[in-house]
Amino acid sequence: MENIALIESFSEFKDDKLIDRVMLMAILEEVFRSTLKKRFGSDDNFDIIINPDKGDLEIWRNRVVVADGEVEDENSEISLSEAHKIEPDFEVGEDVSQEVKLIDLGRRSILALRQNLISKIHEHDNTNIYKQFKDLEGELYNAEVHHIRHRAIILLDDEGNEIIMPKEKQIPSDFFRKGESVRGIIESVELKGNKPSIIMSRTSPLFLEKLFESEIPEVFDGLITVKKVVRIPGEKAKVAVDSYDDRIDPVGACVGMKGSRIHGIVRELGNENIDVINYTANLQLFITRALSPAKITSIKINEENKTAEVMLKPEEVSKAIGRGGHNIRLAGQLTGYEIDVYREGVEEDVELSEFSDEVEAWVIAEFSKIGLDTAKSILEQDVEDLVRRTDLEEETVLDVMRILREEFEQ
């Protein structure tokens, strides 16, 4: 009865951890054998009989009968006189099976056994959670905000599994409240110690790709393929799409009438500006499309150095570069080419790096960040706009412009 009572008390773990009965019994046997090894030195001569239907467990210790005074190993041998206490008919050389009651193991052993069982079940549970979420890496997932910390949000799914979304995996405009449902992708799953660490991301390009699969039926059905996605989370994204069916317009199908299909995705991403582009193996055409909405006059491609020199009319340059240099940066990431922009009809210009004696390197770097790397490209800009797009003070911008003008006045 002691064994049965203990098994029933252990069965609470089955309900708490959603562990099936057979697995619980397998863990029980492993834990009991570990306890027997510590108590008797070996478990080789013990039979553990588990009945998963009844939740019953029996432990039998098998020993060989030896003459009185000849016992060398108390675990595997029993004296004849001791054997007669069990059954008076036993003779030397016969095998004796004796049931071991839990009370025989001692209170400390039982407490250690219980603790070991809890640890093994948690380990089993964590392993299952790890395997479950490892299979979900790269997939969309929903969870509820449980706790908001300074550097991360702790989420819980319907099964109570903890998911972490670090600050850098959140879109800058994201603002969540406790209890709010959040959608992202399972970006990575690792075992830290015995506990799975599940990371969710909303900034990954794959999140946007999966949103396309979720929201656009033709993408889900495979009629339209998402070839590549590049993003500056919360700001701008470019998505190259293709279709093997000439009757389908992949861009039109993704955007929908008046943007109806893509509107939900844009809203999910905090009004991120999404350019959907027709993919093509024609590199010149692909770069042209990638720099949309700018209209390009001509392109010179160097495939060996992975660079492209793009010629545009002066009024198209700012469109090609985009706010904060986002458009040209994403176009480069989408095509895999470093894109340099040149103004059509502008003959004499000077690289900004030529002014390194008069303009500090970090100032030159600030202009380069927004795609301005020549003297005239800066002089064509509005001072207030440059202050807004860079981390430079108005006084610094005016000083740089004065230096550049003097170069052309000489």
DSSP 88-146: TT--TT-EEEEEPPHHHH-HHHHHHHHHHHHHHHHHHHHHHHHHHHHTTTTSEEEEEEE
Whether the CB-CB separation of 13 and 24 falls below 8 Å is answered with yes
Give SS3 for 263: helix
Instruction: Give the span between the Cα atoms of 8 and 3, in whole angstroms.
Output: 9
pLDDT at 289: 95
Instruction: Give the span between the Cα atoms of 131 and 144, in whole angstroms.
Output: 21
Task: Give the bridge partners for 51, in sequence order.
Answer: 56
Instruction: Give the span between the Cα atoms of 295 and 274, in whole angstroms.
Output: 18
Whether the CB-CB separation of 187 and 137 falls below 8 Å is answered with yes
Q: Domains in the chain, please, with CATH?
A: 2-126 (3.30.1480), 136-203 (2.40.50.140), 204-279 (3.30.300.20), 280-343 (3.30.300.20), 352-409 (1.10.150)
R_g of the chain, CA atoms, integer Å:
36
pLDDT at 55: 56
Least Cα distance to 150 among 168, 124, 131, 173 occurs for 168
Report residue 194 as tokens.
């015995």
Instruction: Give the span between the Cα atoms of 129 and 133, in whole angstroms.
Output: 6
Tens-digit pLDDT profile for the chain (410 aa)?
Answer: 344 445 555 555 545 445 566 666 777 777 788 878 877 888 888 888 776 555 567 788 888 888 888 888 888 888 888 888 888 888 888 888 888 777 666 666 666 667 767 676 677 777 778 888 999 999 999 999 999 998 999 999 988 889 999 999 999 999 999 999 999 999 999 888 778 899 999 999 999 999 999 999 999 999 999 999 999 999 999 999 999 888 999 999 999 888 889 999 999 999 999 999 999 999 999 999 999 999 999 999 998 999 999 988 878 888 888 888 899 999 999 999 999 888 776 556 778 888 888 889 898 888 888 888 888 888 888 888 888 888 899 999 999 888 888 876 65
Least Cα distance to 110 among 11, 264, 3 occurs for 3
pLDDT at 35: 78
Chain segment 347-391, per-residue pLDDT in tens:
567 788 888 888 898 988 888 888 888 888 888 888 888 888 888
pLDDT at 388: 85
- Residue 38 phi/psi, 5° resolution? -70, -35
Euclidean distance between the first and final Cα of the chain, in Å? 105
pLDDT at 20: 62
Cβ-count burial 221-252 (b if 16+ within 10 Å, e if not): eebbebbbbbbbbbbbbbbbbbbeeeeeebbe
Give SS3 for 382: coil
Whether the CB-CB separation of 55 and 4 falls below 8 Å is answered with yes
Which amino acid is located at 299 in the chain? I
- Residue 11 phi/psi, 5° resolution? -65, -15
Report residue 284 as tokens.
């010149």
